[in-house]
Amino acid sequence: MTKEADDSVLRLRLRTIIFGTDTRAGRYFDIALIICIVLSVALVLLQTIGHVQVEYGEQIMMLEWFFTIIFTIEYALRLYCSAARLQYMRSFYGVVDLLSILPSYLELIFPGAHMALLIRVLRLFRIFRVLKLIRYLSEGNMLLRAMKLSGRKIFVFFFSISLLVMVLSTIMYAVEGPENGFTSIPQSMYWTIVTITTVGYGDITPHTALGQAIAALTMLLGYSIIAIPSGIVTAEIHQQMVHRRDLRRCPNCLKTGHDPEAHYCNRCGGELPEDI
């Protein structure tokens, strides 16, 4: 066997382990990677807590480099064994994999204290490692499809909300004015969104009677309008569920429309595939 062939066999085997999930080794690799991702993200979170950083700064930096090296090896292996390197590098996962190691190296290159802020932000970029987990989320498809199908309607909805927010903000700015915390229309827009989404921080609140009346109307109006995306998503999910039920087919007699809870075909008694 030539060296090339040998290399090709190794790449194929690695590819099965790294990109696949069917083999035992592939599953172990995935589990190990998930654990590394979760731990390294936890590390980024801990790092921002003042007294943890002071007490365990050194250990954290060491662990940080440990994970960086692991993810670098992972990225190198993926590049090495990928069938379509450029395509992988440009794909969503390729970019996320690169972004999850880049900050550590950039920090090494620009260590100057005068770039402290940039470094701090860069360090936080490591949180994007969490997006590596999306790879393992195969069930999100139905939800994503429902979201995508509703996309146009949701855009129309957001556009209408924007018009409403602008008009309401301007009215509230005129009524309440800067002396009651509505210092500018953008500030007033922040208040309107806080109110219309029913978040209601209370950092800015109307103080005049007229302002409170308009605010009350805004809440009730907003409440009715905000019911719309909920309605859109619900109707789409319902459609998807009916559609999915139609797709669940008995492999024996081809009957469709089985209950999501059914384990056996109610016509021929054949075992049904798992409901996805």
DSSP character at residue 266: T
Asked if 199 touches its own copies (CB under 8 A), the answer is yes
Asked if 190 touches its own copies (CB under 8 A), the answer is yes
| CA 118, 59, 36, 29 torsion-angle sign | positive
Q: Burial, 9: exposed, middle or buried (Cβ in 10 Å; 0-12, 13-18, 19+)?
A: exposed
Q: Could you say which residues in the range 229-268 bind its own copies, by CB under 8 A? A: 229-239, 241, 243, 259-261
Applying CB under 8 A, the span of 1-9, 91-99, 221-229, 249-257 interacting with its own copies comes to 221-229
Q: Which residues lie across from 264 on neighbouring strands?
A: 271
What does the alpha-carbon distance between residue 90 and residue 269 come to, in Å, rounded to a whole number? Answer: 48
What does the alpha-carbon distance between residue 260 and residue 246 come to, in Å, rounded to a whole number? Answer: 11
Asked if 102 touches its own copies (CB under 8 A), the answer is no
The binder of its own copies chosen from 65, 105, 110, 201 (CB under 8 A): 201
Inter-CA distances, 88 with 33, 76, 78, 163, 181, Å: 18, 12, 8, 41, 51
Applying CB under 8 A, the span of 18-26, 62-70, 77-85, 194-202 interacting with its own copies comes to 194-202
Site string for its own copies, 145-184 (x = CB under 8 A): -xx-x--xxx-xxxxxx-x--xx--x--xx---x----xx
Q: Output the six-digit token pair for 254.
A: 């081809």
Nearest approach, Cβ of 13 to its own copies (angstroms)? 31
Asked if 128 touches its own copies (CB under 8 A), the answer is yes
Q: Could you say which residues in the range 51-90 bind its own copies, by CB under 8 A? A: none
Nearest approach, Cβ of 139 to its own copies (angstroms)? 5
